Amino acid sequence: MKNRIITISRECGSGGRTVGRLLAERLNIPCYDQEIIERIAEKTGLAKEYVRETTEYMEHSGWLAGAFIPCDRSGHSMQGDLWSLQKRIIADLARKGPCVIVGRCADFILKDDADLLRVFIHADIDKRVQRVTEVYGEAEESNPRKFIISKDKRREAYYNYYTHQKWGSSDNYDISLNSGTLGIEGCVDILEKMY
């Protein structure tokens, strides 16, 4: 039998990661996010910060983004290898039992191997700017709006390149929730009841 897995995709600043963590706590199942990065870092010897960036974000955005992935002469790229490793790790975690997985294209990676609830958390840009400023402090980013937009564009480029789907398009998800109007706790409530 396939395990019931909740995947959470999210816009930067929407609080999607927090929704995932709180939901997993309420359901008493694991939430994988940091752990995936740690496993990849452990297996490759690469720094966690580097792994975090390279396994969810393209260096550049836009339709030519894929052209900027550094490759060796045989066409092999570090990012491509990390994608393959990430896929294996996510598939392994999903086999262990029900869980929540935040980001990392898990909705795509597991589409045939799990009983998925694919969630997308979003909010309008003003609400996300407000949240990033409150949670991370103004010092973190001098221009949070620019930071958010750039981060989402690079995340979208990564998702679209590796999944051949369109990031954020509602048809890739079973449910999309506006955390800006429903609140983070409101989103967790809805998903808990659904599960």
Contact residues: its own copies, CB under 8 A? 118, 120, 122-124, 168, 170-171, 173-178, 180-182, 190, 193-194
Structure tokens at 51: 């792994």
CB of residue 58 vs its own copies: minimum separation in angstroms? 22
- Residue 146 pairs with which residues in a beta bridge? none
**Shorter beta-carbon distance to its own copies: residue 20 or 180:** 180
**Could you tell me the smallest distance in angstroms from the CB atom of residue 164 to its own copies?**
15
Q: How far is the CB of 193 from its own copies (least distance, A)?
A: 5
Closer of 10 and 39 to its own copies (Cβ): 10
User: What is d(CA 176, CA 45) in angstroms, rounded to the nearest whole number?
Assistant: 36
Residue 22, classified by CB atoms within 10 Å of its CB into exposed (0-12), middle (13-18) or buried (19+), is buried
**Judged by CB, which is closer to its own copies: 56, or 107?**
107
Is the separation of the CB atoms in 109 and 36 below 8 Å? no
Q: Residue 28 gets which letter from DSSP?
A: T
Q: How far is the CB of 4 from its own copies (least distance, A)?
A: 14
Of residues 44 and 178, the one with the C-beta less far from its own copies = 178
Alpha carbon distance 160, 11 (integer Å): 14
